Each structure stands twice: as C-alpha cells, then as structure tokens.
Amino acid sequence: MASNVKELVENGKTALGIEFGSTRIKAILVDENNTPIASGAHDWENRYDNGIWTYTLEDIWTGVQDCYAKMAADVKAKYGVTLTKIGAIGFSAMMHGYMVFDKEDKLLVPFRTWRNNNAAPAAEKLTEEFNYHIPARWSIAHLYQAILNGEEHVKDIAFQTTLEGYIHWMLTGKKVLGIGEASGMFPIDIETKQYHPAMIKKFNDLVAPYQLPFKVEDILPEILLAGDDAGKLTEEGAKRLDPTGNLQAGVPLAPPEGDAGTGMIATNAIKPRTGNVSAGTSVFAMIVLEKELSKAYPEIDLVTTPVGDLVGMVHCNNCTSDINAWVGLFGEFAKLAGVQISKPALYDMLYFEAEKGEKDCGGLLAYNYVSNEHITKVDEGRPMFVRTSEGRFNLANVMRANLYASMSALKVGCDIMLKEEGVKLDAITGHGGLFKTERVGQSFLAAAINAPVTVMKTAGEGGAWGMAILANYVIQKDGESLAEYLDEKVFKGQEGVTLAPDPADVAGFEEYAKRYVDGLPIVRQAVVSMK
C-alpha cells in the first residue's frame, strides 16, 4: 500500500486541502480516491488588538508555511519521498470578515475576523434596506460600518476579500472566490450566480452621499463555482507556500471556499432537501433550500453551496460547553467516591442514562447559555437549570434535559424553516463532538428536527478534507455535477449509520421545546439580576 501511495505522490496524483480554522490551520493530502494519505496542522490564536479580533499577515503566512511543512514531513516519514508535485490545491477559511487593500496591494487595516460584532449597526441598516438578513460578520456589513464611521482608509480601497481569497490571490494572482464564500461577502442572485444586482444598486445609492471613489461591484472578487478554473500556483506563490523550494509551480487551484461550504462537502450535503449539523462548542445547521424563503429572518443566514444553491443556516453560540461542565461535576463525584472513570466512559455512561429519561424530561428545563445566544435574544451567558417542585428530578431526566438544551436554540431556528416556511428535509448528517457517543445525540437531534440523521465515519475528517475533495474535482471532473462526483467518487460505499426520528421522542421534544421557549424570560431576567 505504502509503495503504491509513494508512486502517486511522486507522480503528483494527489490533492491538497488547507483550512484556516479559528484555532488551527489544517492540511490534508488525499489520493486519487479522496482518501487522506498525509496531514499537518498549526495551532494559532487570534489577537485582541485595539478593540478588534485579528490575525496579522505574519500570523497567516508563518502559520500556513508551518502547516504545509508538517504535512510534507508526514509524507516524507510515511512514504520516504520529498513532496514536489501536487495535482491540485484548495484553500478554505472561517467565513466572512474584512480584508481591504489599496491599489498597491497593501492591507489598509488589520484583518477584522468574523468574531467582531462591531458592524452590528451597519448590518441592521442593510437588512432593513435589502429586506434580506445581513449578519454583522458579513464583509459588506464591515465595509458599510467603516463608511458610517468615517474611517480614513475607505477612500483608498481598491479590493476587498476574505482570508482564503487573500491567500489564493497571493499564490495565483487571481482575485476570485468560490460562490459559497462570496455569498457571505454580499447577497447572491441564485439565478445568475452573481452578486445580487438590485442590492448592489441599493448599496451604491445608500453610500452615494459619501462620494466614494469606487462602486462596490468594482472592489469585490470574481465569483466562481466548484470545478471552475481558479488559476495556477505561480513560481512566487510556490515559494511562499513552501520556502524550501521543493514544491513545483503550475498546480491548478480550486475556487477558495468558506468553512461552511467545505463542511457541506465533507458530509455530502449539497443537494436540495439535504443538510448537515455541526455540533461542538457551538452548533449550526445548514439546509439546502429548493426556493427562496418568503421573507428575511434574523435567525437564518442565507448562503450557498459551492455550486450556488441556496442554503438556510442557523448558527447558535452554545452547544456542548454546559454539558461538559455537568459531566465534569459527575466526574469529580466519582473521584471523591474513589472510582476512576475515563472521560470517554463517563460521557457514554451519562449519555446512555439520558436515553432512560422521560420523553419530555419529566418537567425539567435547562439553558446551556455559557455565552450569549442571538437566536433566543439572550444577551449574556447565564447557564441555568430550572424545575418546579413537581418535576421528576433524577439523573436520567437531568442528562436528557441537558442534551435537549444543547439543540433547543437550534430547533427554534430550524422550526422557522421546517414549520413556518415548509422547507422539506429528506436527510441530514450530524458531525462533531456531540455525536461521539453512539446513537444518543443522533437520535435526540432526529427528534428535534423530525428528520432522519446520519453520522458518517468520514465526517470527522472535517473541512480540510472537504477542500481537498473540491481541489480533486477541478482536475477529475468529467462532465458530472459536483453532487454526482460526491455520490460516485467520494461517498460510495462509505459507512454511516442513519436513525429515523422516533415519534414518541418527537412528541416529547416538542413538549420540552414549548417549555423552553415559554421559560426564556427567566434566563433573560437572570442576565439583568445576576451580574
């Protein structure tokens, strides 16, 4: 096997995906069949500088070079070959944010990441003007806020992009973005797969009094779809990525995509009526829509798949952190009792106990708000556990209530699409830490959204793997759509477990969800009363 892989590596029959996450940059090299054969990672942290969450350009380049070097070292260690040729490369990153450059290609202000909420007033105004939900982390909200603030640099803007768009530009000379990422810069017209012309006009009219020297459409990147030619690695770009000089130039690059898009690829959830839920510290659901929603909802962000189909996204700040605290508490008790239980065994034990709980959690109620939650309009974190004197307070119900709480804010947002808008959902894939214990989180999520949930073994490979697949698609596609490519050449024969919703669980979760929504004033009051 190793000698066969060695041959593939030597002949450049590989694809590389690199994704910039909030705390880690990860590289995955795959073979012709999209099987991971080597990887590397670099840990990094954003800085809080002058009231802005940022990474410096030096952070970005030293990080990606170290990540690439570790992946190349992994290749050398496993297969005894120096990596010089790669079949295709793709870059992905956490979405949105603000990177603006002047006509000399100089960064005008430090990179403002998605984490900054300082563009909220601009986002609110644009949502009103466009009748289309614009989140504060979107690039256009950051730009408008800078205009409203009268920031000096605005007059010098010649180009605006996102993190992976910047990396791609520096390595290829091409100012492009994949459509999924572009949809988080500015709203997309789903028919034309370009920036929405009516909203472009509205934006230009809105900022006309500021007499800017540019029109917004002139500073945004060109939009590409998955599989499109996005340029090749230049000689300068090759040395920038691999300063050793081993990597050869001329490698085709895939359109750079956001982490939401690569997550869809890694879970094979790009067809209409499919979706995926990523559940870890935070939780988000992405559902591919068959048509536009009837109106704008603050709970739902609209983005696209890497081929430009509309996606409704519900993002919640809180998921597993509060459960982790409860499990930690029970772990402390076990230790006090002189019992040594490993962390995975402790999670399994408590999660499986939750299955024995009453379907509606016996009248108990939990809020897992370690931080604020915009979906339910709670401004600060106040984790709470609430019960009446009649509630059945036992371990099974307590754990079940906490697990239900981890997906209840998500349910509030998803219910808008599934119930109010009548969105159809045939299948959804779950991935992330919540699903590590077999069956439990998966069956509860199926109950929350009343749809079958699949957990695949490969989903754990994550966005860097998804980006490597998109890179391979550029050089391997043979007339087939991306959905066909994923079905036939990536996920065919993949192991996965699908659980259909249990009607009794669905009814129980509905009852719990009503109690959860009715009780929200309690947690909002706690924000006021507990300082």
Tokens of 187: 């709203």
Looking at the domain assignment, is residue 102 inside a domain?
A: yes
* Residues in contact with 439: Cβ distance below 8 Å, sequence separation at least 6, in sequence order: 355, 497, 499
Tens of pLDDT, residues 359-402: 999 999 999 999 889 899 998 999 999 999 999 999 999 999 99
What CATH number is attached to the domain comprising 167? Answer: 3.30.420.40
Tens of pLDDT, residues 28-41: 999 999 999 999 99
Judge if 393 and 513 occupy the same domain. yes
* Strand partners for 223: 177
Is 281 a residue whose pLDDT tops 90?
A: no
Looking at the domain assignment, is residue 186 inside a domain?
A: yes
Nearest C-alpha neighbor of 381 from the set 332, 322, 327, 429: 322
Looking at the domain assignment, is residue 206 inside a domain?
A: yes
Of 207, 236, 258, which residue constitutes the final position of a domain? 258
- CA pair distance 277, 447, nearest whole angstrom: 14
Considering only residues 51 and 523, tell me which one the structure prediction assigns the higher pLDDT.
Answer: 523
Judge if 126 and 204 occupy the same domain. yes
Boundaries of domain holding 248? 2-258
Considering only residues 505 and 278, tell me which one the structure prediction assigns the higher pLDDT.
Answer: 505
Tens of pLDDT, residues 438-493: 999 999 999 999 999 999 876 556 789 999 999 999 999 999 999 999 999 999 88
Q: Per the confidence metrics, is the pTM higher than 0.75?
A: yes
- CA pair distance 189, 166, nearest whole angstrom: 23
- CA pair distance 65, 67, nearest whole angstrom: 5
Looking at the domain assignment, is residue 393 inside a domain?
A: yes
Judge if 329 and 244 occupy the same domain. no
Of 61-70, 115-124, 454-463, 478-487, the least confident: 454-463
Tens of pLDDT, residues 12-22: 999 999 999 88
Judge if 242 and 139 occupy the same domain. yes
Is 3 a residue whose pLDDT tops 70?
A: no
- CA pair distance 36, 29, nearest whole angstrom: 6
Give me the mean pLDDT over the 122-140 stretch: 94
Using DSSP, state whether 54 is helix, strand or coil: strand
Contact 92, 256 (CB under 8 A): yes
Looking at the domain assignment, is residue 27 inside a domain?
A: yes
Judge if 160 and 47 occupy the same domain. yes
Nearest-10 Cα torsion for 483, 275, 16, 67: 170
Q: How many domains does the chain have?
A: 2
- CA pair distance 500, 442, nearest whole angstrom: 9
- CA pair distance 145, 116, nearest whole angstrom: 12
Judge if 385 and 524 occupy the same domain. yes
Looking at the domain assignment, is residue 146 inside a domain?
A: yes
Judge if 252 and 382 occupy the same domain. no
Judge if 40 and 182 occupy the same domain. yes
Is 173 a residue whose pLDDT tops 50?
A: yes
| Most confident region among 47-61, 115-129, 203-217, 446-460 by mean pLDDT | 203-217
* Residues in contact with 77: Cβ distance below 8 Å, sequence separation at least 6, in sequence order: none
What are the DSSP calls for 460-482, one per residue? GGHHHHHHHHHHHHHHH-SS--H
Of 242, 258, 274, which residue constitutes the final position of a domain? 258
Judge if 246 and 386 occupy the same domain. no
Looking at the domain assignment, is residue 231 inside a domain?
A: yes
Tens of pLDDT, residues 289-344: 999 999 999 999 999 999 999 999 999 989 999 999 999 999 999 999 999 999 99
Of 218, 241, 258, which residue constitutes the final position of a domain? 258
Is 1 a residue whose pLDDT tops 60?
A: no
Looking at the domain assignment, is residue 415 inside a domain?
A: no
